[in-house]
Structure 1
Amino acid sequence: MKVKVLKIRISNQFQKMDEDSVNDYFSNFEVISMETKLIEDEINYWSILICYREKSGKPNSNKTIVHSEEELTQEEMIIYNKLKSWRAEKAKQYQLPPYIIFHNTHLMSIARHKPCTLEDLENVNGIGKSKIEKFGIEIIEVLENA
């Protein structure tokens, strides 16, 4: 069993994005238990303590999965680094840690798969519809310019 703490900021600016990130997280893991607490701060937020485990069963074989940088070719590393730069800009823009925008494994998988359309992006493991709706077009643009 593993533990993760997530937060949902209660602000019109951040709440929907934070909720989508939490929902994407839930789609990748089996939640065993969860506790919440309202934290009153400069921006109030819900702190969520999640006990979880990896989902059982084999991952969908059509989905691209890359676990480490060593698996990437030189060309894929260039794309991966451009995606990391894009993610850093987004994280700064939204005032979020970069991993909330996308995990490194997601960016590596995108670099490997090189999706050309939003539908292609759905074939990258761990990327849900909300991330595709929010960032899909920008990701495709980064890939086109790589």
Structure 2
Amino acid sequence: MKVQVFRIRISDEFQASDEAVVNDFLSRYDILNMNSELIQGEINYWSVFINYQEKTKQVNSNKLNINSEEELSDEEKIIYNKLKEWRYEKSKELNQPPYIIFHNIHLMSIAKFKPYNLQDLEQINGLGESKIRRFGAEIIEVLENA
């Protein structure tokens, strides 16, 4: 098991690029455990501690996946943005960074495939039982109102 620590600065200038670095890391490794803490001081930032290992050989999966916003239609981009708004509000409510709740790739996949129920969410690559149980009903509600 290996560890990595990231800082995500909470400022318009740095937050997007810091999140992109973390998202890239998360896509390249199997994440075993992740913790975060908001550090407030002269510069406010999220400290993210990740236990990880090299990716195991991936079995060909039948789960749905999308890798780029470019794969979304205009309608799907609207849904994607509504999902990002929901995630941002949820992150504030739970006092966690947005990527802990869902990665952008997950939200893009949800916007693309528009699941109708919790069972449909299980078909999205990267959405496990825990995330679906915790957030699935809210995701379906966002989709119904989009």
Normalised TM-score (structure 1):
0.67
Aligned residues: 113
**Cα gap change, 1:139 to 1:30, in 2 (>3 Å):** closer
Residue 140 of structure 1: aligned partner: 140
What's the CA shift for 1:59?
A: 4.1
Structure 1 segment 125-136 matched on structure 2, within 5 A: 125-136=125-136
Structure 1 segments (4+ residues) deviating >3 Å? 2-6
The answer to whether 1:29 aligns with 2:30 is: yes
Amino acid at match of 1:69: E
Cα distance per residue 1:74-105 (max 9 Å; x no partner): 11101100000000000000010000000000
The answer to whether 1:110 aligns with 2:125 is: no
Q: Kindly, what percent of the aligned residue pairs are identical?
A: 54
Structure 1 segment 1-146 matched on structure 2, within 5 A: 4-5=4-5, 29=30, 49-61=50-62, 63-146=63-146
What's the CA shift for 1:5?
A: 4.0
Amino acid at match of 1:85: E
Q: Distance in 1 between matches of 2:75 and 2:105?
A: 16
- List gaps (5 residues or longer) in structure 2: 7-25, 40-47
Normalised TM-score (structure 2):
0.67
- List gaps (5 residues or longer) in structure 1: 7-24, 42-46
Please give the root-mean-square deviation of Cα atoms over the aligned residues, in Å. 2.8
